[in-house]
Structure 1
Amino acid sequence: MSSVGLLYVGAVLFINGLMLIDVVPAKAAAAMNLFVGGMQVIFPTIIIAQAGGDQATILGASGLYLFGFTYLYVAWNTLTEAPGEGLGWFSLFVSCCAVVYGVLQFTMFADPVFGVIWFAWAVLWFLFFLLLGLGKAQLGRLTGWFTLWLGIFSGAIPALLMLSGGYVTGPTEGWIAAVLALVLLALSWALGKPRAPGSDAPTPAGARVAGA
C-alpha cells in the first residue's frame, strides 16, 4: 500500500472508530468514507492500468480495493440507512483476503511489519463481520476502540515513517509490531467491555446505521 493511501486509511479508521464508540455521529463520518473510499478505488485502478502487466505492482494495488469498497459501503449504509448485514459478510471476505496478503508480505516482500499489519486488519474486519454480519452487538465498543487504535498505529504512524524515510522492517520490528497489535487488542477489550456487569452493551449508533 502506498504511503499516501495508508495515511488516509489511518484517518478514516480513526473517524470510524470514533463513530463506533458514539463520539462522532454516523452521518458526520460519511464524507470521510466517501473521500477515502473513492481514492482507494481510483488510485489502484490508475496504478494497474499503468503497470504494464507487472504482477508485483498489480498485486500490491489489488488490496487497496478491499479498503475502498469497505468505506464506500459504510457511506452507502449511512446515507441510505441500509442494514449492516451485507457489509458484515463482505467484511468476512476482506478478513480472509487480508490473511493472504499478510502471508505474502512475509513470503514475497520480506516485510514482517506489514505482514503483522495485514493480520491485524484481518482481525479488525473479522470483528466487523461478527458485529454486523452475526449481530454480536456486545462487540460494538471493542470493535470501535480497535478501529481507532489501528487507525493510528497501522495507518498514520507507518505512513508518516514511510513518507519521511524512517520506515524500517525486519524480524525484530515484526515482533515489536505483533506485540503492539496484541496490546492494542487487549486494551480495546478492556475499554470496550459492557458497562453493566452481566449484560450486553447497547449497539453503538454508528454500528446500527453504518457498520464499520
Structure 2
Amino acid sequence: MSDIGLLYVGAVLIINGVMLLGVMTGRDAAPLNLFVGAMQVFTPTMMVVGAQGDDAVILAASGLYLFGFTYLWVGINALAGLPARGLGWFSLFVAVAAIGFAGATWAQGGRVFVVIWILWAVLWMLFFLVLGLEKQGLTRFTGAVAVTEGIGTAAIPAWLSLTGGLRDSDTLALVYAVAAVLVLPILYALTRVRTAGSSSAEAVAPGVG
C-alpha cells in the first residue's frame, strides 16, 4: 500500500470508528468512504496495468483491492440504505486474506507490517461479527479498535514513511505487538460499559471501514 493511500486509510478508519461509537451517522461517513474506496481501486488497477508481469507488484495491488471494495461498499450501503450482512461476510474474507498477506510480508522480509496486517485481520473479523453475525454488543468495541488502528496502523506509519522516519525492524514489530496485546483488552473493558445502548448491526453497517 502506498504511503499516501495508507494515510487516507487511517482517516477513513478513524471516521468509521467514530461513527460506530455513535458520534455520527453512516451517511455522514459515506463521502470519505467513497473517496478513499475509489482511490484504493484506481491505484491498484494502475499498478496491475503497469506491472509487466511483476508478481510482487501484482501481489501488492491485490491487497489494496480488499480495502477499496470495503470502503466503496460502505459508502454505497450508507447512501442506498442496503442491508449490512453481505458486507459483514465480505469482511470475513478480508480478515482471512489479511493473514495470508501477513505471511507474504514476512517472507519478503517485512516485520512491522506483518503485525499491522494481523491487526487489520482482527479489525475486519470484528466487522464480520458485528455485521455478518449481528453481534451488537461488540459495536462500540469495534469502533474503538477502528479509531485506534486508524491512528496506529495507518496514519502514523504513513506519516513516518512519508517523512523518512519509519525504520522496519524486529524491535519495532515487537513494540507494535505488545502494544496491541495491552491496548485491545483495555478498549474492550472501556466500551463494554455502554454495550446496552449500542445500535443494531443494520444501523451501524454504513459506517464500517
Same fold (TM over 0.5): yes
Q: What is the CA distance between 1:83 and its match in structure 2?
A: 1.1
Compared CA separation, residues 57 and 162, structure 1 to 2 (3 A): same
Q: What is the CA distance between 1:192 and its match in structure 2?
A: 1.4
Once structures 1 and 2 are overlaid, which stretch shifts more, 13-22 or 184-193?
Answer: 184-193
Q: What is the CA distance between 1:32 and its match in structure 2?
A: 0.2
Is 1:80 equivalent to 2:56 in the alignment? no
2:192 aligned counterpart, secondary structure: coil
User: After TM superposition, which residue ranges in structure 1, 4 or more long, deviate above 6 angstroms?
Assistant: none
* TM-score normalised by L of structure 1: 0.94
Distance 1:194 1:69 in 2: 33
Which residue is 1:15 aligned to? 15
Which residue is 2:56 aligned to? 56
Which residue is 2:29 aligned to? 29
Q: What is the CA distance between 1:184 and its match in structure 2?
A: 2.9
- In structure 2, what residue type is equivalent to 1:190? A
1:142 aligned counterpart, secondary structure: helix
Which residue is 2:115 aligned to? 116
- In structure 1, what residue type is equivalent to 2:128? F
Q: How many residues were matched structurally?
A: 208
* TM-score normalised by L of structure 2: 0.95
* Partners of 2:13 and 2:150 within 8 A in 1: yes
Is 1:210 equivalent to 2:188 in the alignment? no
Which residue is 1:152 aligned to? 151
Once structures 1 and 2 are overlaid, which stretch shifts more, 202-211 or 148-157?
Answer: 202-211
Distance 1:132 1:74 in 2: 11
1:63 aligned counterpart, secondary structure: helix
- In structure 2, what residue type is equivalent to 1:19? M
1:45-93 Cα offsets, whole Å, 9 max, x none, are 0011001110011111110000000000101110111111000000000
- Please list every run of 5 or more consecutive structure 1 residues that lacks an aligned counterpart in the other structure: none
- Please list every run of 5 or more consecutive structure 2 residues that lacks an aligned counterpart in the other structure: none
* Partners of 1:83 and 1:209 within 8 A in 2: yes
Compared CA separation, residues 209 and 95, structure 1 to 2 (3 A): closer
Q: What is the CA distance between 1:209 and its match in structure 2?
A: 4.5
* Partners of 1:4 and 1:159 within 8 A in 2: yes
Distance 2:199 2:181 in 1: 24
- In structure 2, what residue type is equivalent to 1:193? R
* Partners of 2:31 and 2:75 within 8 A in 1: yes
- In structure 2, what residue type is equivalent to 1:123? V
1:151-170 Cα offsets, whole Å, 9 max, x none, are 00001000001101111111
Is 1:100 equivalent to 2:96 in the alignment? no
What percent of counterpart residues are identical? 50
Distance 1:207 1:186 in 2: 25
Q: What is the CA distance between 1:5 and its match in structure 2?
A: 0.5
- Cα RMSD of the aligned pairs, angstroms, is 1.5
